Structure 1
Amino acid sequence: MDGTTGDRHGRVVAALDGASLRRHTTGQTILDTVDWTVRAGEHWALLGPNGAGKTSVLRLVGATTFPTTGTVEVLGHRLGRVDVRELRALIGHVSTSQRVPQDLPGHAVVLTGHTGSVQPLWKKYDDEVRERARALLAELQIKELADRPYGVCSGGQRARLLIARALMADPALLLLDEPFNALDLPSREDLVDTMRHLALTRPRLATVTVTHHLEELSPALTHALLLREGRALTQGPITHVLTTEHLTTCFGRPVEVSRHGGRWLARSGVAGWGEGAARQ
């Protein structure tokens, strides 16, 4: 998938126009006049050092916080002029910090995505809704988790359950806040495959993924936004953004970026590192 996919679809899914965010108690600037547009079919990575403002951007487009200045539009609605409770129901959220009852079986976890609730609201789930949840479990290759308590699932299994849960609302926008956190290598690769599958089977779905490591980026990602100290450093098609020069500026230390088979790698750019490693 190339970086023009979103332009072919054209429809704006989310847009920040001069959006700034300040902490009310201290006046600290968290985001500083960020301009950013996400279109249908685009898959974005948000990258930057800790404290750069990645999660804050996600909260703005997820309609869970409001800008101090500037504007934010999501799914055609401007924050401050729409009932955000209704808007949030149209946005898929995936975060390892989500509250999920540990004894809830996988099928029930996915069902709660239909009502946007922590606990299942059983009277709200007819046969069609229950079958949709089972179909999503099968699609994401986790149907064996239908009866397994969430608390005993692995990190990778939990991440895919949360994605299935988010897809119950058939969202136009899917936001993933560090979904790879604490995953081992097989679980990470399973999740990368899941993200590739979603890009192929849902061509109009837009996704935004916050992560710290280039190795976690799916080949399906089309665009990237680099943040530093609350400002948008650079953004655009992923191959134009994820360069040695841009990553070095973003993280404030020498970084070497390479790509192989559609996957990305970032290493310390200390001179002679590669030669030394090769001799070992």
Structure 2
Amino acid sequence: MSPTYYAPRGGLPAQDQLLTDRAIFTDAYAVLPKGTMRDITTSFLPGWTDTRLWVIARPMSGFAETFSQYIMEVQPGGGSDTPETDPQAQGVLFITEGEASLTANGAEHHMTAGGYAYLPPSAKWSLHNKGSAPLRFHWIRKAYQPAPGLSEPDVLVLNEQDITPTPMPDTNGAWATTRFVDPADLRHDMHVTIVTFEPGGVIPFLETHVMEHGLYVLEGKAAYRLNNDWVEVEAGDFMWLRAFCPQACYAGGPGRFRYLLYKDVNRHMPLRPFG
């Protein structure tokens, strides 16, 4: 089955539409439904031309503290020669729509829907839309945490359609993860993966763990347990989970349920503020 990737379009609801929606922000989690990603909630970045973005996660004291996540929309001819201004920032790009021309450390890459790029802090990169249609992609950023004896990771440019998902044990393939990075590669301090549930697939226990999460629903719908609540989510929704927030999932169908997942991994817990 060919994958699909939901991307927002913006716009505004009609004046006669009901105000009620599923948006919620608690001290343990947040849900940003796709309906919140409107024209008036976009931002712009210096150094980017013909580009707007939705900021769907940012470090916040007492909540999710390790990462930011943007949904970028680049018009034909737009892009940036200086996309990243933080010398400590690593990034992951995931293309949901359109075509991207990525240059990283002098190597040129043509990326299409399903494309993934990992960019370490030292990478010199630029990105442009040389196509005829808008380019939409996720940009996940995290300050890299060096570890003794480990070098910085290499640039990676891949596509999920070339990767075989790894089924979770004892699930008969109902729950699987597409991994772009080897979990045993401790150079990486964050993972961005795609999680897929076939209709009827479940997370059959309340996961409670130290990793923070960002979950953007690429396809389908499901009921998700977040802390004490069951919430319904669908393609285009974003969930933001604080460390240790209990979580589970039931994907009732009719189609499969897939999301782009961020988590921080492979490092000691800091015992004092960074810096």
TM-score (ref. length: structure 2): 0.30
Higher RCO, 1 vs 2 (CA within 8 Å, ≥6 residues apart): 1
The structure with more helix, counted as a fraction of residues: 1
Q: Greater CA radius of gyration, 1 or 2?
A: 1
The structure with more strand, counted as a fraction of residues: 2
TM-score (ref. length: structure 1): 0.29
